[in-house]
Chains A and B, each alone.
Chain A
Amino acid sequence: MSNRIVHWFKYASPQSFYPLAGKMIPLFWVLAAIFGVIGLWITFFVAPTDAQQGEGYRIIFIHVPASWMSMFIYLILAAWAGLGLALNTRLSGMMAQSLAPTGALMAFLSLWTGALWGKPMWGAWWVWDARLTSELILFFLYIGFIALQSAIDDPRRADKAGAILALVGVVNVPIIYFSVKWWNTLHQGASVSLTKSPSMAQTMLWGMLIMALCFWMYSIAVALTRVRAIILEREAHTEWVKELPEVKQ
């Protein structure tokens, strides 16, 4: 038991996480590609035309996974930030910093695909609706987190300030999720819920879940790539970085 704990904590140091991340990145790219191909195949060739929305509804297969990831990445970011604040571990802040741009990208894609779906179906690119507005706030939280961190020179202080912003912002995630229940909105209700069976056909559900897995694997791969860069930037002065084969060559 104690052995296992030691083993686990070993990877909490940037020095041992750096090569581990390097080994995991190709694996996640392969998984992202596999899920992406299957997901896109279902999106365009298996899922039938919708009775009401025709082919326009196919946007759902990226809109929902992007929205899920934007919320999920925020939770992970806040968890890393909180861990860093509580335990003062070096890797936590780096992980939070690495996740923010990917989360911002997902929030942007959620808004972008939503606008392109809203225009033909609702007749408006944008409405100041609870769901849309809270998702926009999430996007601004990511941007604020990135801006705040880059405005502070000392990385440890930047981590602390960012962590507080991230933790305060967490309150927005349940607001996004439940916004369609709490307020009367133009946006449709949850597509997939834990309490009742999904309100959609099986093939659509599968397509969406597989696309979500693709987005998930993509996010992990790109966040690990970025965290490796951040580790090198922050640990540039250390002996272990100077001894890395890619630096010594």
Chain B
Amino acid sequence: MNWNSPAEFFAMGGYAFYVWGSFGACAILMIVEPILAGRRRTSILRSLRRERLAEKLDSQ
């Protein structure tokens, strides 16, 4: 084990800004990207459903 306390872990031996800046950016982007990709699919699905409904109403 490298750390004696949580504070020591977060301090990263004085490199906290660089280490957490790297891992933080990585985590944020890797959370945001899948959300955006998922949203892109929900948005096209929504418009497809709307189109289908419009066609149905047209034919009535």
CA distance A56 to B40 in the complex (A): 37
Contact of A226 with B19 at beta-carbon distance under 8 Å, contacts A49-B13, A113-B26, A247-B52 already known: no
Which B residues touch A247, using CB under 8 A? 45, 48-49, 52
Determine whether A228 belongs to the interface, using a CB cutoff of 8 Å to chain B.
Answer: yes
Contact of A225 with B34 at beta-carbon distance under 8 Å, contacts A58-B19, A59-B19, A116-B21 already known: yes
Determine whether B37 belongs to the interface, using a CB cutoff of 8 Å to chain A.
Answer: yes
- Give the shortest distance, in Å, between B55 (CB) and chain A (any CB): 9
CA distance A70 to B52 in the complex (A): 40
Binding site for B on A (CB under 8 A): 44-45, 47-49, 54-56, 58-59, 62-63, 66, 101-102, 105, 108-109, 112-113, 116-117, 119-120, 218, 221-222, 225-226, 228-229, 232-233, 236, 241-242, 246-249
CA distance A59 to B40 in the complex (A): 32
| Prevailing SS type, chain A contact patch | helix
Task: Tell me whether A62 and B22 are in contact (CB under 8 A).
Answer: yes
| Prevailing SS type, chain B contact patch | helix
Cβ contact of A54, chosen from B15, B23, B47, B48, cutoff 8 A:
B15
CA distance A120 to B12 in the complex (A): 13
A-B contact list, 23 entries, CB within 8 Å: A45-B1, A49-B13, A54-B15, A55-B14, A56-B18, A59-B19, A62-B23, A66-B26, A113-B26, A116-B18, A120-B15, A222-B34, A222-B37, A225-B34, A226-B41, A229-B41, A232-B45, A236-B44, A241-B48, A242-B48, A246-B45, A247-B45, A248-B52
